[in-house]
Amino acid sequence: MIESKKTKQQLDADKVRSFIAIETNQKVKKTSDELIEKLKRMGFRASWTKTSNTHLTLFFLGDQNITKLAQLAYKIGDRLAGFPTFHFYVEKLGFFERNSIPRVLWLGIREDTTLNGLYEEIKKVLKMCEFEVKENVFTPHITIGRVKNYPKHWKELLSSTSFEEIKVFVNSIEIYSSELTKNGPMYNKLYTIDFEGGVIINGQR
C-alpha cells in the first residue's frame, strides 16, 4: 500500500493561530468597557477589544499544529500540577508608544512574584517542547485597544484616567485559537489547564 503524503494546503489546515492566556473576570470586562467608552469620548479611535476577548496573554504561539498543541497542553498540565491558586491586581491604564505616538492601550497588572513564576514555568515547557520563545521582559497587561487616531494631549488624558483596582483569582490557564476576521479576531478555547493537574478539552475533562 502506498501512503499518500499530505499537500501543503492540508498541512496548513492542521494548523491554528494560537496563544496561552489567563481569563479575567466580569469586573475587568465591565471596567474595560467603561474605559473604552470614556476614551472614545476623549477622542481616541482604536481597534477596541471586545468584552468577550478580554484576557491576559502569557505567550503568543503563532500558527501551530493541532497535535503539537494537544501535546503541549498535557505537558503544561504535568508541570503545573499543584501550582498554588493565587490572585493578581489590575490597577492602572497604560500604553505602549513608538516615536511619541500611542500604539496600544492596556490595563496594567501590579508586579506579582507568583504570576512571574507561572510565566517562567510555562516558558520552560515551551522550550522543552521546542516552541520558539522570545526572551522579552514579561510585562503583564490586558490589551483594550490598538490606536488608530488620538487627541492632541493624549498623555495627559491617559494619566488622568484611573479606576478602582480589581482582584483577579487564578487557578488555571487556557490555550486559545485565534481566527482573524473582518470583524476582528475570533477566539476559541481549546484547552483549560487547571492547577490540580487536569486538562479540559473544549469544556470536557
Catalytic residues: 55, 141
Rounded to an integer, what distance in angstroms lies between the CA atom of residue 177 and that of residue 46?
A: 23
123-152 CB burial, b ≥16 within 10 A, e <16 = bebbeeeebeeeeeeeebbbbbbebeebee
Strands 141-149 and 166-170: unpaired
19-52 CB burial, b ≥16 within 10 A, e <16 = bbbbbbeeebbebbbebbeebeeeebebebbeee
Rounded to an integer, what distance in angstroms lies between the CA atom of residue 131 and that of residue 134?
A: 10
